[in-house]
Amino acid sequence: MRSSNSLDQLIEALRCLPGVGPKSAQRMAFHLLQHDRRGAGRLAQGLDAALQRLRHCTRCNSFTEAEICERCLSARRDPALLCIVEMPVDLNSMEQTQAYNGLYYVLMGRLSPLDGVGPKELAFERLLARASDGVVREVILATNFTNEGEATAHYLSELLHARGLKVSRIARGLPVGGELEFCDAATVAQALRERRDFS
């Protein structure tokens, strides 16, 4: 049901943005038209340019304009470490720590059978080929600690172990500055189970 009016069409088009319902879309459209026509023009151009230019890096599967992204080509990174994350935002979180200098593979999702997302949809074959390049020594699973992220990590660890790769998982525990009193019991229990030698 497309409207013939360009205002209604814009409002409808804005709803493709995640978390934007009819009311927000309306507010956004009026804001752009009344107060930020330049911004709206830039957004239209930005969308066009991104759709035309961006594709998936053939090595890490993240978005890039080249065939292989700068990060994957960097000589300053350790190619023996491969960190698997669900989405580009997760990769950014890892990078912000400045505590990791290996390479990445972005799944662009997580196993979610109820949504019809299985190993095929996530192209696990490509990931396995990437991890089996003979250079990678350790695969670090950094999927989220949600049910789906955990399931994805378990599934992947079996496939990767079968190929003789060392597989690790980022740690769970209390957050930095965290207090036992205000932490949920499951996290405290996990922190206890995964306690480390302390010297």
Count of residues in the chain = 199
Q: How far is the CB of 72 from a second copy (least distance, A)?
A: 15
Interface with a second copy includes 3 (CB under 8 A)?
Answer: no
User: Quick check: 36 binds a second copy (CB under 8 A)?
Assistant: yes
Is residue 53 near a second copy by the rule CB under 8 A?
yes
Check binding of 48 to a second copy (CB under 8 A).
yes
Backbone dihedral angles phi then psi of residue 11, each to the nearest 5 degrees: -60, -40
Q: How near is the Cβ of 96 to a second copy at its closest, in Å?
A: 12
Of 38-46, 131-139, 153-161, 168-176, the window that binds a second copy (rule: CB under 8 A) is: 38-46
The answer to whether residue 27 forms part of the interface with a second copy (CB under 8 A) is yes
Is position 13 an interface residue for a second copy (rule: CB under 8 A)? Answer: yes
Nearer to a second copy, 107 or 160 (CB): 107
SS (H, E, C) the chain: CCCCCHHHHHHHHHCCCCCCCHHHHHHHHHHHHHHCHHHHHHHHHHHHHHHHHCEECCCCCCEECCCCCHHHHCCCCEEEEEEEECCHHHHHHHHHCCCCCEEEEECCCCCEHHHCECCCCCCHHHHHHHHCCCCCCEEEECCCCCHHHHHHHHHHHHHHHHCCCEEEECCCCCCCCCCHHHCCHHHHHHHHHCCCCCC
Q: How many positions of this chain bind a second copy (CB under 8 A)?
A: 49
Residue with Cβ nearer a second copy (27 or 163): 27
In angstroms, rounded to a whole number, what is the distance separating the alpha carbons of residues 140 and 183?
Answer: 26
Residue among 1, 21, 37, 76 that touches a second copy (CB under 8 A)? 37
Residues 76-95 as x/- pattern, contact with a second copy by CB under 8 A? -----------xxx--x---
Q: State whether the Cα torsion 47-73-154-142 is positive or negative.
A: negative
74 binds a second copy (CB under 8 A): no
Q: Which is nearer to a second copy, 41 or 178 (CB)?
A: 41
List residues binding a second copy (CB under 8 A).
Answer: 5-7, 9-10, 12-14, 16-19, 23-24, 26-34, 36-37, 39-54, 63, 65, 87-89, 92, 108-109
